[in-house]
Chain A
C-alpha cells in the first residue's frame, strides 16, 4: 500500500507502522513540520522531556524494559549535540534506538546556518549507523531500515538526520514490508561444529563456570529461559556481568552473584580457578577481567557473541561461536540432551565444596549500625519491601549502582536498567520515566546518588507532567562516593572536589516541582519511610541520608587479578593495596 504524504508525515507514519507507541522528544525550529504531524494524529504519543539527553535515556529505559526499539525526536544543532551522550550510552550497552534529528534545509547545509551542526559527522562514531536524508524518495526506505538496523544483530542506536525542506517535501510512502533488507543480515545460527566442540568440553569439565552478559537480555526472554535450563541441566555455577543481571534467577542456588571489580568473592575466585569458561553474550570488559594476563589463567574459554569483533578482542578464546545467544543456547541444549551428556559428578562435588568455602567468607558483609543508615542496609530494606511486587530498577552511576547490583536481586530479565559501558551519571532518572511509561502499573524505582541525580534532575518535571509515579531513591552521602573511594585508595585521602558543599534540600525541591519529598535519617525509620514511598501514587524524591564514608567492597583494584581482591573487613591498608602501575589504570 502506498500513499502520498509529506516527509514529516512519513516519519510519524513509519513509527506507527513499526509499532511505536511513545516518542521522547523536544521541539525546535528544524523539526517543527514533524511536530505538526504529531499534532494531527493519536497513534504515536509524544513525551516532552526537559533536555535532549533525558529523551535518549528515557528511550533507553523504555527499550531495555520492553525489548522494543526506543524512539527519539530532537531538533538540529544543540538538540542533536545534547543527544550525543545518550546515543553513546546506547551504543556501549547495545540498546536499540531510532533517533530522528532535524537539520537545516539542504541548501543551507555547510553554510554555518543557525542551529546547524554536522550531525551525521558528530554521531558517526557513537551510533551503529546514521543517515542524512537528501531526497524525499529515500525517506521511507531509510526510516524502515533504521528500525531494522537498530533492532537486529547486536542492537544499537541509529540516527536519521532530516533537513527541514525534506520534511515539507511530498513523496510516496510505503509500508515496511515493501523493503526487503538485502544489505544488513547478521548471522544468527552458530557454527554447529564449534557448538559440538563446546558441548564436549563442557561435559568433561572439572571446574566449569558460566559467565553471562547483556547479550542474553538483548537476545530476548527466550534466551534467558534457555540459559536457565542449560545451567540447571549441567549443574554448573553461573555468574553475570552488571548488564546481564536478571538473565538467571538470583534466588537459584547455582547463582554466584555478579563478578568483576565489585563482584562477589565466590564469582571472581571461581572465574580465576575454573577450567572451562562458557561466556554467553558478554565481552570480557576491563571491569570484568582485571589484570588481563592473570585473567582465569587455567581455563579453556568458549565465547558466544553475535558480534564477531567482540571475540578475541581482549582475551583469546579457544572456541569462538558467532551467533545469537538464544539460537546457540538452543543448539547446545539439543546436543547436550541428544548425546546424553552429563557432568562429572565427583569433580562437580569437589568444585561446589570449594565454592561453598568461598561463599562462607561472606564477601558482601558490612558492619551494621543503629546510628546511621548504611547504604547497603538501605538497599537491602528496599529489596525486602519490594521483592514481591512487580518492580523495575534503574540506577545512576557510582557506589549506589554497585550496591544496588550487589544487594538487589533480580529473578527475571528486563527488570534492571543501568548504564554499564559508558557509566553515565544522570542515566537513572530519565530512564525510570521511560520504564514507567512502558509499564504504567508497575513499581519503578531509580536507585540514585545525590551527585548523579543532579545531572538530569529536571526530568522530574517530565514525570510530574505525565503522572508517572517513579520513585527516586537517593543514597545521599554528600560525596561523589566512588570518586571519594578512589581518592582514598589512590590519592592519599585527598578528597579533591568530590564533596558537595551545597546540596539542595531534596524534600523542598520535590515539592517545588510538584512531586513528593521524603527524608529518612535513622535506620529505625527506614522501613516505614520506604513503605510510605511505595504507597504514594505520585513521583517521590526519597532523600536517604547514609553513612558518608562507607566504601564499596569487595574491590579488585586496577591492575590486579581476580584472586587479589580487597574485602571490606580484610584490614589491608588501602594505600598498600595498589601498585604504581595500577594507579595509571582507570
Chain B
C-alpha cells in the first residue's frame, strides 16, 4: 500500500499523482467474441480499482467473432494510460483506441424514458419530446415511453425536464462511439 505517501512531502515530479486532475476518457476495445471476455475486462477494472462510468458491449462482426466494448472511465492521465496498457495485454484484446485522445470521435447513447401523467403535464411532455426529437414508442392514456438518441448530456437534460412532468423510469444503453472519417479503428 504505497499510496499512503505523506502529501506534505516534497515532490520530485511536477505532477504528483494526487495533484493531477481527473479526466474522463472513452475507450473502444476490440475483443474476440468468446465466453468470459467481458468478465476479464470488468475484473480488470474492479481488481485494479479503476472506475467504469459507462460500458457497452456488442458483437460487431459475426464472421470474425469480434465484439466491440466501449467503456467510459475516469482517472488521472497516468491511470488512464495504465488502463489502456492493462487492457491491451489481455490475450483476447485486439486493439484499444482512446476515442477522447483521438479527438475525432462521435459518441451516442439511446435512452427509453417512461413518463406518466395527465392533463397539462402530458401535453408538455409530448411538446418537449418533439423539441428533443424523441419518439413515442409506447403510449397509454396516462403514460408515454419516449425513445431518445444523442450525446449523454442531451439525454440527461431531457430526463431532467421530464422529472417534474411525471418521470417514472429511465433505461439507458450506455455510450457507443465511432471515429469520424473513412478508416476503421
Contact = CB atoms under 8 A, between A and B. Distances in A.
Interface of A: 120-121, 124-125, 128-129, 132, 134, 149, 153-154, 183-184, 286, 289, 291-295, 297, 307-309, 311-314, 316, 559, 579, 581, 584-586
Interface string B13-51: 100100000000000000010011001100100010000
24 contacts: A120-B36, A125-B47, A129-B90, A129-B91, A134-B35, A153-B89, A154-B89, A183-B32, A286-B2, A291-B9, A292-B5, A293-B10, A294-B10, A295-B12, A297-B12, A307-B89, A309-B88, A311-B85, A312-B78, A316-B13, A559-B4, A559-B6, A581-B6, A586-B1
B9 A585 contact: no
Given A149-B91, A183-B91, A581-B4, A293 B85 contact: no
- Top 10 closest A-B pairs, CB basis? A309-B85, A297-B12, A129-B91, A286-B2, A308-B85, A581-B6, A584-B4, A309-B86, A293-B11, A125-B47
A154 B9 CA distance: 35
Nearest to A314: B2
Nearest to B14: A316
A121 B35 CA distance: 11
Interface in B101-130: none
B24 to A, nearest CB: 20
Contacts of B166: none
A150 B32 CA distance: 19
A289 B2 CA distance: 10
Nearest to A149: B91
A309 B5 contact: no
Contacts of A125: 43, 47
A586 B2 CA distance: 8
B81 A312 contact: yes
Given A125-B43, A184-B91, A293-B12, A559 B82 contact: no
A585 B2 contact: yes
B30 to A, nearest CB: 11
A183 B4 contact: no
Given A295-B12, A313-B82, A584-B4, 18 more contacts: A120-B36, A124-B39, A183-B91, A183-B92, A184-B91, A286-B2, A291-B5, A291-B9, A292-B5, A293-B13, A308-B85, A309-B82, A309-B85, A309-B88, A314-B2, A316-B13, A584-B1, A586-B1
Interface-central residue, B4, B32, B92, B94, by most chain A CB under 10 Å: B4
A377 to B, nearest CB: 33
Contacts of B11: 293
Interface-central residue, B47, B81, B89, by most chain A CB under 10 Å: B89
A183 B89 CA distance: 12
A162 B90 CA distance: 21
Nearest to A316: B13
B108 to A, nearest CB: 30
B1 A585 contact: yes
Given A183-B91, A308-B88, A293 B5 contact: yes
B39 A121 contact: yes
Contacts of A295: 12
A132 B35 contact: yes
Contacts of B81: 312
Interface of B: 1-2, 4-6, 9-13, 16, 32, 35-36, 39-40, 43, 47, 78, 81-82, 85-86, 88-92, 94
Given A291-B9, A293-B9, A585 B91 contact: no
Contacts of B16: 293
Contacts of A183: 32, 91-92, 94
Contacts of A586: 1
A105 to B, nearest CB: 17
Nearest to A121: B39
A120 B82 CA distance: 25
B81 to A, nearest CB: 6
A291 B13 CA distance: 13
Contacts of B2: 286, 289, 292, 314, 585
A124 B92 CA distance: 13
Contacts of B78: 312, 316
Contacts of B35: 132, 134
Nearest to A307: B89
Nearest to A299: B12
Contacts of A121: 39
A316 B6 CA distance: 19
A584 B39 CA distance: 32
Contacts of A120: 36
A308 B4 contact: no
Interface-central residue, A121, A183, A289, A292, by most chain B CB under 10 Å: A292
Contacts of A184: 91
Contacts of B5: 291-293, 559, 581
A309 B96 CA distance: 13
Contacts of B36: 120, 124, 132
Nearest to A295: B12
A308 B91 contact: no
Contacts of A154: 89
A128 B13 contact: no
A517 B39 CA distance: 50
A307 B86 CA distance: 9
A295 B36 CA distance: 39
Contacts of A312: 78, 81-82
A128 B93 CA distance: 13
Nearest to B78: A312
Contacts of A584: 1, 4
A519 B32 CA distance: 58
A294 B32 contact: no
A124 B43 contact: yes
A113 B154 CA distance: 50
Contacts of A128: 91
Nearest to A120: B36
Nearest to B39: A124
A142 B178 CA distance: 33
B9 A294 contact: yes
B159 to A, nearest CB: 36
Interface-central residue, B43, B85, B86, B94, by most chain A CB under 10 Å: B85
Contacts of B89: 153-154, 307-309
B17 to A, nearest CB: 9
Contacts of A308: 85, 88-89
